[in-house]
Each structure stands twice: as structure tokens, then as C-alpha cells.
Structure 1
Amino acid sequence: MSTETLQYFNLSQQWGHGMPEWPSSASLNVRTLQFHAKDGVSVKEIEASMHRGTHMDAPIHVLENTPYITDFELYKFFGTGVAVSIPKEKWGVITADDLEAATPKIRPNDIVMINTGAHHYWGDNDDYFAYSPGLYKDAAQWLVDKQVKLVGIDVQALDHPLGTKLVSHGTGPSHPWLEKEYAKEKGHPLLDDFPLWEPAHKVMLTAGIPGIENVGGDLDKITGKRCTFMCFPFRWFEGEGCGIRVVAVIDPEQKFRFETGQ
């Protein structure tokens, strides 16, 4: 079978100058070192945290004395899986029941891409970075118990935004008004519902499941389908994360499918 019949889908957000960035202290800077009119070549330099745009986290990012990005086995980054629709509104929490009911059915050893609809708000705005839905501890534990291979999601982080330092977790709150807004909307303190700091990161990553944040691009086109995914970070020694290109492949003739026994 010719690979020309396969359909390829980009699941990464555009990365580089002017891209939306997670609200933290480090920013992305792109500098032109050489250009054609002057030097006859084009050379640019990037200074940035790797936790920008579509990227993969390593366990060391959230817990000391744990593996780096190069410690993941290569088979984790390639294989069959599903893109599932789990639509959620502002601050919605993805539950274990949501994952159990998702279609196509999530199977052991799957790569799982979760489409909440939040990627439509991708931009330098609170709708995406402060008000998005997300995973929390119970859903993360469900994915671990299901023994999936890798998880990607179309929101600002592997964790719900109210489980990050935007509020009173870790070095936060960087966005204290969110706690006031939540208490006003819900009638009780935010920490009653989100007492843990980045539990989805810790539960999945330390179980050996790579996590990809800010999935987007053609995600809607493959949602509800079983397909082949590839998403290799580069070989960064002692890297705690990595910007990444995520690609899905579908064979419209249903003659090609990659399976791994790993």
C-alpha cells in the first residue's frame, strides 16, 4: 500500500514569535542573528521555556528525583489511539465517568487525545488560560488504571487551571482574583473543590504516561476516530519538557493501522 493514500493531520498549535503563552514569568524571545540582505543566510535564535504552545511534560517538571524527557521509552510516542470529544464549559472538570463513556472506547495501550472544545479559544486571553476546563486527580487516575500510553489535551495544562499556581497552589496565587470570582459564583471557597496542586501532572507523569498540553490544529477533524499518532520530543538531556509536533494519521481505505505490543 502506498503511503500517499494516508491522510495526515496536524494537532499542534503554531509555535514561535507572538504565540500565546501560559501566564508565568518566563517569556519567549526570537532574535534574528543573520538575514539574507546582509549575510546571505537566515539564522534565528530562540530563548524560551519549553512549556509553551503544544509541548510535552516530563515527570521532573513537577516532582523532584523523577525521570527527564529522554527517560521516556520511544514506543510511548507512536502508536494507535483515539481522539475523544468531552465538551466542557468554563471551569468544567473532566471526570472518570466522562472518560469511561467516551467514544471510540479508550483501550489499554491507547494514545488518547481529549477534545474539550477549548482549543477554539487558543489565544492571549483568560478564556483559554484562566477559565478553561481540565483534568483533575480522579480522571488522571482513571487513565493510569486504564494503562493508556500517552495523553494529550486541548487546554492550557494537564491540570485544570484552578489546580495550578494561578490560585493558591505552589508559588501562587498569580491570579488571586480567580479565587474571589469562583467563591462568588459557587458560594464556597475555591480550595474546597481544588485542594491539590497539579495532581493530574503528578499522577500521570510519575506513572510513566507522557502528557501533551495545548493540542489543537486539526483536532476536530479526527475527533471520534481511531487513528495512528506520532509525537516525538527532541533528545534533550535532562530536559523537563519539550515543544513538540503532534501528527495523526488515518487511512481512508482502512488498510493501514499500526499496533504495538508494548
Structure 2
Amino acid sequence: EFEKAEAKLLETHGKTWDEMFPAEWYHELTHIKMPKAGLLLAESLGGEIDELSNQRAWIMIQPIPFMEVESAWARVAALQAPDGMSEADFFAQMRETQMLDLTLPFSVQTPQWANYEPLSVKYTKRVGGQYFGLGRNNAHCRASFHLATHMDGEKHFHAAGRTIGQMPFDYWRGPGVIVDISDAVSNSSVYTPAMIEERVDIREGDILIIKTGWHKYGWNSPDSDEFRYMIKHPGPSPDFADWCIEKKIKWLGVDCVAMEHPMNTIQRIWHPKTFDEANQKLIDQYGQDWDEVYPLDKYYQDMHLNLFPKGIVHAENLGGELAEVGNGRYFIAAFIQKGMELASCWGRFVAFAES
């Protein structure tokens, strides 16, 4: 195949391959000059690309923010002006739009939930160690897909549900709200629909992002407290899932490790001391103990088992610029790999606000 390619090059340009692409020059161009100039390469594009032939578009690529590796999976999208809007006006509007990254860095230091497999990275190639220094970096990564900032798909808890890759791309984006309830929650506390509705103008069909303030205890924060982040985060009240169904919430997201209250998961058994503290807090607040407020047969993994069959899934471990975002309406999007077999998947989560 190389001989065929070189023959074609000679025919069209009158040069051999090494004359056209001197090895050291080409390596310096592609491995040094281009990266320094911020000119990176996206490969294996597909999907609806044929529909954009010879057309201008606002193109976005959102890679997973891997901290230790040289390449990353990404979801690529191309946006075009809606009917009735000129291309120039559309591009001007996009340039003025503020994009906020709600994603945590993805690292070997990222704690995994419970007994899931954490991330490990193994370099298999190094740029300076092969082919007289003309090699490339390459790493193999191993981890649970339920790690760092990720989307829980229907299939994660619903056997008849759709995988991540079976979800339509439109499902992952739309209007919604970010609501900051950090002033109203504390260790193992409960948040309610009323807390949401009194802070933001939430509408039917919205995407709902809940900012509890727990992102500040994440692994990459100067106030990192892994036990508090994983085991003592607040969670939804008993009526929360039914409220989400009534409001036809599209999907949810939260800045802690789970959309559930941790004491409505296996963590209740694994951390009995924390459960006793949470139970006493509930008694003090509502005058009832945990099993009276959250009967096990209905509320074990309530936000998973009762919402996923309704098509209402959620993102966990949000963070990043969420720390600086206030209450309000935004256009929210999740850029998630089209993994056809995946029940959950890492993603890049963003919110768009008018500048």
C-alpha cells in the first residue's frame, strides 16, 4: 500500500514520499509546532458529517478531561443557524455566549464510588523512546465507566432501558436551570422540591442541575474531604422523584457523588455510624426515623430505580465552573461518547449563558 501511495505522489507531485515528507521535518511539524500552536487533530469523525458537506458551521469538540494521557475520547457537534437567522448573526451570537465547564478533571486520583474500579493508566509508547525519537505517546486506561463526572444511563438500573449509545443526541441538550441550594444543606441533610422552586424559574421539560456545594469536597479541591464527599452528601426528599416525573424533568445532575441520599444506598450498611447520625438528623427535622420517612421497598436507590424506567436519568460528580455559577436559566448540554454497550459513561458537561 505504501508503494501505491508513493507512486501516486510521484505522479501528482513528482516527489518521493521522503522528499515530500522528510521524517524529522514532518515529526517536528506534527508533534512540536502544531501542538505548541494549539492545532490538534480529531480523528475518526462520522455520524451526520455528510449533511454538512461544504457548509459552514459552529463546531464544538468536547473531550474527556483526562489529566495523565495524551489523547481522549470526545463528542463532536456542529451547530448551524436556525431558520430565520443569518449565519453571520448566528456566529456572532455564539461568540458572545459564555460556555461554562461543569466537568471535574479525570485522573487516577479520582475516587470511585463504593466498590467500582478506579482509573489506572499504563503508558505503552513514549514519544522519545522509539524510532530514533520519532515515536508517539500512547496510554491504555482501565476504569469503571461510572467514574468522575459521568451520566448514569437508563441501562444502569433498568434492564429494559436504553444504553448510552442508544439515546438520541438531542436528549443530552436543552434548556434548564442551575439551582444553588448550598446555603440550605449540610452533612447528610435532605433537600426538597420547594427548595428548587423558590430559587429558580423551573419549567416543564427542563434539565435540572443541583448545586449542593459538595463539589468543594472533591478530590481536586483545596478543601478536599473524600469521606464527606462520598458518604455525607445531602440527598433528595421522599417526594422528589415523583416531583421530577410531574415536572417532566428531562434529566438531572448534581455536584456530589450520587443523586441518591447515601443512606438510601448500600452505604447505609457499610457506614452504620454515619447512618445513625443521618437518622438522628431526620428525627430532629421531621420527627420520624429513617425507615418511616424512607420505607426501604420504595426508596432504596429511588432516583435510579423509579426514574430510569421513566427516561429521567442523571449526571453525577459535576464540578468545575459550577462553583462560580449562580441560580438561573441556562442552555445545558452533555457531550457523551456514543457507547453502544454502555450503561453509564464519562462525559463533558457544559452550560451556556448570555454574556
User: TM bucket by the smaller chain?
Assistant: 0.7 to 0.9
Determine helix, strand or coil for the equivalent of 2:179: strand
* Equivalent residue for 2:336, pick from 233, 243, 249: 233
Superimposed CA distance per residue, residues 124-155 of structure 1 (whole angstroms, 9 cap, x where no aligned partner)? 61111000002254112211210121211111
Q: Structure 1 residues 43 and 94 mapped into 2: Cα distance closer, same or farther (>3 Å)?
A: same
Task: Spell out the pairing of 1:14-93 with structure 2 (5 A cutoff).
Answer: 14-39=105-130, 40-87=135-182, 88-93=185-190
Aligned pair count reads 246
RMSD: 2.0
Structure 2: tracts of 5 or more residues without a match:
1-88, 220-224
Alpha-carbon contact 2:161-2:308 (below 8 Å) kept: no
Q: Structure 1 residues 115 and 182 mapped into 2: Cα distance closer, same or farther (>3 Å)?
A: closer
Cα distance, 1:216 vs structure 2: 0.8
Matched to 2:206, the amino acid is D
Alpha-carbon contact 2:186-2:234 (below 8 Å) kept: yes
Q: Normalised by the size of structure 2, how large is the TM-score?
A: 0.64
- Quote the Cα distance in structure 2 between the aligned partners of 1:245 and 1:112: 16
Alpha-carbon contact 1:115-1:223 (below 8 Å) kept: no
- Whether 1:133 aligns to 2:229 is no
Q: Structure 1 residues 75 and 218 mapped into 2: Cα distance closer, same or farther (>3 Å)?
A: same
Cα distance, 1:58 vs structure 2: 1.3
- Whether 1:205 aligns to 2:302 is no
Q: Structure 1 residues 162 and 203 mapped into 2: Cα distance closer, same or farther (>3 Å)?
A: same
* Equivalent residue for 2:275, pick from 151, 174, 179: 179
> Relative contact order, CA 8 A, sep 6+: which one is greater?
1
Matched to 1:203, the amino acid is N
Cα distance, 1:220 vs structure 2: 3.2
- Whether 1:98 aligns to 2:213 is no
Bigger Cα Rg: 2
- Quote the Cα distance in structure 2 between the aligned partners of 1:149 and 1:221: 24
Alpha-carbon contact 2:188-2:278 (below 8 Å) kept: no
Determine helix, strand or coil for the equivalent of 1:246: strand
Matched to 1:228, the amino acid is F
Query: Would you tell me which structure has more helix in proportion to its own residues?
Result: 2
Determine helix, strand or coil for the equivalent of 1:245: strand
- Quote the Cα distance in structure 1 between the aligned partners of 2:344 and 2:292: 30
- Quote the Cα distance in structure 1 between the aligned partners of 2:252 and 2:280: 33
- Quote the Cα distance in structure 1 between the aligned partners of 2:114 and 2:140: 22
- Quote the Cα distance in structure 1 between the aligned partners of 2:170 and 2:238: 25
* Equivalent residue for 1:164, pick from 243, 265, 270: 265
